Amino acid sequence: MSRPTLLIIAFSPIHEDARVLKQVRLFTTHYDVTTVGYGPAPDGVVAHHEIPAQLVAWRKGRRALILRRYAEVQRTNAVLAHLRAVLPVGAYDVVLANDADTVPLALSLRPRAGVHVDLHEYAPRENEESWRWRLFVAPYYRWLCREFVAKAASVSTVGQGLADEYRREFGIHASVVPNATPFHDLRPTPVHAAVRLVHSGNARRNRDLGLMIEAVRLTRADVTLDLFLMPNDPGYLAEVREQAAGVPGVTVHDPVPYADLIRTLNDYDIGVFVLPPVTFNYEWTLPNKFFDYVQARLGIIVGPSPEMAALVREHELGAVTEAFDPSSVARALENLDPQMIRDWKRASNAVASDLAADHQVSAWESALARLTGSSQ
């Protein structure tokens, strides 16, 4: 019996996109998977359409965007024009479209069983800290959600807060597939005499990484802080390095390959992520790193971000600061004691299997099984 055919579209380098790779790894066991994205083919697919590196997916015709000629924005985008020319219409059972930008293309391919959309952010408010983005780009994404995402056969997103907002604004009913990390068979490490704090992630200015560094400078607790940062914004990363150099115990490292990250984190005590809610998506963030910290069997300190705070409190994984400021983080650090940290690390160990990607991706499996009428 032939297997269903699935096309996965992502305007990202799939071979290093953690969320899309989860889709590929999940579905290659039951589907003949073809991928569309930048960079080389991920393992296990039957075919791959590599987007030429010189074609930029996010580039939109400025005049058409300002005049709200959104069909023209779609028609003149170089990546979409290229893919419309190379992708066959009616050739796949299902198309899995990642993010709102890919959905008009996915629907135009007319898959036999329909399109599933996975929304990694709340698209209409992704860069809302910029007034230009709010004025010119946000209406385009609302148009995409209203005219295309709402017509998909099924939809998923990364957290309940985002799902609630998609339903409120557009009537889109999205299931929730968190950015969970695959299960790692590790054990908690002993708590260090000087508590070892760690943060891993992107070096972006609007994440205010200096907040955590300043907290270590302010606190009387015996702690160190290591940051493993991606060079998203080299200028900002240089500023973070300069700030860290002035605070004893704080070290900024180059990023480690994702395959090595969880084992690297395992030698720390507490993962820290305090993200001021400067955008709607930041307010409702539930990022990969949270689940990385669980798989690394760490305690976790977060700010009062609703999604992360709820999981920390539900599973007694760590502490939630009173506010998104250095003094609140410093106070949380001063409340630490070794037994408390041991208990947090044991709690992470206890829920590592339940919070692993292996369990969290079931909503994707169910959605595609409903579309294809298959059982897995």
Report residue 287's pLDDT band, with 50, 70 and 90 as the boundaries.
very high
pLDDT at 170: 98
Whether residue 320 contacts residue 300, with contact meaning beta carbons closer than 8 Å, is answered with: no
For the entire predicted model, the pTM comes to 0.90
Report residue 210's pLDDT band, with 50, 70 and 90 as the boundaries.
very high
Q: What is the mean pLDDT of residues 150-169?
A: 97
Report residue 375's pLDDT band, with 50, 70 and 90 as the boundaries.
low
Residues 213-235 have pLDDT tens digits of 999 999 999 999 999 999 989 99
Question: What are the residue ranges of helices labelled H in the chain?
Answer: 18-27, 62-66, 70-76, 78-86, 103-108, 131-132, 138-147, 160-170, 210-218, 234-245, 258-265, 280-283, 288-295, 306-315, 326-334, 338-351, 357-360, 362-372
What fold does the segment set 195-351 form as a domain? Rossmann fold (3.40.50)
pLDDT at 220: 96
pLDDT at 259: 86
CA distance 77 to 297: 44
DSSP symbol at 49: E
Q: What is the mean pLDDT of residues 176-180?
A: 94
pLDDT at 257: 87
Report residue 178's pLDDT band, with 50, 70 and 90 as the boundaries.
very high
Q: Where in the chain is the domain with CATH 3.40.50.2000?
A: 5-177+361-372, 195-351
Whether residue 357 contacts residue 183, with contact meaning beta carbons closer than 8 Å, is answered with: yes
pLDDT at 356: 94
Report residue 1's pLDDT band, with 50, 70 and 90 as the boundaries.
low
Residues 307-342 have pLDDT tens digits of 999 999 999 999 999 999 999 999 999 999 999 999
pLDDT at 120: 96
CA distance 354 to 348: 10
Whether residue 307 contacts residue 160, with contact meaning beta carbons closer than 8 Å, is answered with: yes
Region 5-177+361-372: CATH code: 3.40.50.2000
CA distance 74 to 106: 13
Residues 116-158 have pLDDT tens digits of 999 999 999 998 989 999 999 999 999 999 999 999 999 999 9
